[in-house]
Chains A and B, each alone.
Chain A
Amino acid sequence: MIQRSLSHYPLTGLSVFGTLLFLTVFAAALYWAFRQQNASLYARVEALPLKDLEPMRDGEHSI
């Protein structure tokens, strides 16, 4: 059975294809992450969790 499935489906072909595809995605992510142009942006985005809005004090609003 293993022989049959091997003859039907190229084991090496699929693995190589999968790995190459991954390397492409990985290279794209790397390129993206390290683009000089994005540096200032990352500095802003990474601060997002720490920059909570200040709640308004009583009297300032009417909800």
Chain B
Amino acid sequence: MLHDEQKMETFSYDDAIVRKFVLATMVWAGVAFLVGLIAALQLADWRFNFNLPWLTFGRLRPLHTNAAIFAFGGNAIFAGMYYSTQRLLKTRMASDAMSRFHFWGWQAIIVSAALTLPFGITIGKEYAELEWPIALAINIVWVVFGVNFFKTIAQRRERHLYVAIWFYIATIITVALLHVVNTIQIPVSLWKSYPIYAGVQDALVQWWYGHNAVAFFLTTPFLGLMYYFLPKAADKPVYSYRLSIIHFWALVFIYIWAGPHHLLYTALPEWAQTLGMIFSIMLWAPSWGGMVNGLLTLRGAWHRVGKEPVLKFFVAGLTFYGMATLEGPLLAIKSVSSLAHYTDWIIAHVHGGTLGWNGFITFGMIYWLVPRLWKTKLYSESLANVHFWTGFTGIIIYMISMWSAGITQGLMWRAVDSTGRLMYPDFIETVLRIAPLYWVRAAGGALYLVSFLIMAYNITKTIASAPKNVKADVFQAPRLAPSSNQNLGDKPHRILEGLPIVFTVLTLLAVAVGTVIEFVPTLWATDYVNTGSSIKPYTGLQLHGRDLYVREGCYLCHSQMIRPILSETLRYGDYSRAEESMYDRPFQWGSKRTGPDLARVGGKYPDLWHFRHMMNPRDVVNGSLMPSYPWIFRDKIDFAVIPKKIAVMKFLGTPYNEQELALAEATARAEAQAVAASLSAQGATGKLEDKEIVALIAYLQRLGQDYKKGGVK
């Protein structure tokens, strides 16, 4: 095959960077799982937050999800991508410096997430919480990663791009697009900003992002890893390369449309919901195509699955992928969503995906990689098997408990007796019923953490047994000739994927089509948000209180979106309209009801009730698992920042007039005085007019009021 004139080149792979990413994956996995366990324990017994602000559920939960997705998942995919890309393209990464910048930049981003989220520095949109300086850093690091990756493709010594590389390309370009679009915001200060989108528009952009973060951060790159490492471990080519082509294009095309299934029965326009539902159901087919393709790759090797931990993890991982991708489309059906949405069923669903699919594929990959990267043998196969079975049991316990909790609570919320009244009007009743399951879930999570610690021990021992100086292997391969001299049959294929640029553009197009069709109509949001309604912008104090609500992560336990479903309107009041959140940056519709919906809580209780409730929810509601917020009673309102907030909101189009802006601080102080006076009159003690609690109460009491007063036309 080789022509004499093709010059042989000598090179080595950059495995040092892969080793770094593997170690980082291990470290952050421990953090992500531990933080998850603490959060789980807090739902079983709130006191696990030790009354420390930075440890409360609302601040911890974003840390958990970010650590799990971007720190653990991120480092894992980078490790696998750097390893497989170099080998599939028979070249070293284009730039060691860029690889290192990517590695250290990413770790710095994770550390800054860990240093900001616990302090309530957050944008308040799920999985996109990191404030604007960090969001900006993410964009920069990602671009460097992308440039390095595409330069590597350009320098490759293998003409054909294996399907894993396609999945990596889709990941790199789509994540960039998603993240940039979703985090366009205007800063108020170094650590506070408001998104340029509001209300229904923000919701659509956010869940377009959120769902596709699952698609293009937790699915496509892991599928790429699966297509590389599973054939490697099984020592067999992928079952059907044809199927992988169809799998890729169908998946990439369909996924991007599915976001609105997070917003079924909300104030999102009906057509967008329907599109989201249809495409979610369609998604089932390519997902299972991929799973089947993976599992059948093991044809003739099944007898090895029982013995080899790597294969065991891959098979179980794929099976969890199959389960999650069957459950997802099911949950996206409107009638199923009406039961499952806002409940723990969704928590079961995502953990099947993350612990089972992402976790197990990663573990399998690490068990396969570490002995090769460190040129040694795995310390103990049997410990790896113990890891597998403990982890597996942990996931099963986790999922069964959360399925039961979710379905139980969903059914209790909607139960209506023969007289047309709610059977469980007290929300807390539905919480107490599932509380024991929160302990079971924590036990499942603990088991998973323990199983991981077994792995950490095993891997540490393995690395310790490695030779001190691992020398990089050296290879020889010919440079890729500029014009191919291969047979004609390849020509059409080369046009499609031999040309990475064309391929990238096609992928981008596939992603862009769904995006544009779903987005463009909402850009004219004024057309279907009735601005002539009675909904008025927040006052300065309320706005500040709203930011406290975001800071404390109240939205992670409370929704503000009443669905047009009988049991919901009976429980919470008339269903939510799009207009009601048109000044909300970010929107706070929420995705989980650990506590009740708050869209119409304004005026439901006297100020003093909120005062006591925030101090210690158990003083007013027996058995509540909501955290206490004593620091809100100590910390002072930063009145000086309120005019800046109003100015940014005004800039973004909220109709504040010049006078409101000029008098913002004085007005807010006067408002605070009034709330404090009302609290004192009801019996609260202390100097309250400059404390944060006053702003929070002002905000809570405002919720739903405009609508109640005037409705929307």
Contact = CB atoms under 8 A, between A and B. Distances in A.
Given A1-B528, A6-B271, A25-B510, A49 B84 contact: yes
Given A18-B514, A53-B90, A40 B162 contact: no
Contacts of B475: 53-56
Contacts, number: 140
A interface, by DSSP: helix, strand, loop or mixed? helix
B492 A38 contact: yes
Contact of A25 (B84, B249, B476): B249
A33 B282 contact: no
B474 interface: yes
A9 to B, nearest CB: 5
A55 to B, nearest CB: 4
A19 B279 CA distance: 8
Nearest to B514: A18
Contact of B490 (A15, A41, A47): A41
Q: In this complex, which of B158, B241, B475, B496 has the most chain A Cβ atoms within 10 angstroms of its Cβ?
A: B241
Nearest to A11: B271
Nearest to A47: B237
Interface residues on A, range: 35 or more
Contacts of B88: 48-49
B503 to A, nearest CB: 12
Interface string B217-260: 00000000001100110011110011101101110011001000
Contact of A53 (B243, B253, B476): B476
A54 to B, nearest CB: 8
Interface residues of B, number: 62
Nearest to A30: B246
Interface string B490-524: 10110010000000000000100110010001000
Given A6-B271, A30-B246, A53-B477, A22 B160 contact: no
A45 to B, nearest CB: 5
Given A26-B246, A33-B246, A45-B162, A1 B10 contact: no
Contacts of A15: 271, 274-275, 278
A50 B270 contact: no
B402 to A, nearest CB: 32
A5 B269 contact: yes
Given A9-B521, A26-B246, A48-B158, 6 more contacts: A18-B275, A22-B282, A29-B245, A35-B492, A49-B87, A55-B475
Interface of A: 1-2, 4-6, 8-11, 14-15, 17-19, 21-22, 25-26, 28-30, 32-35, 37-38, 40-50, 52-56, 60-61, 63
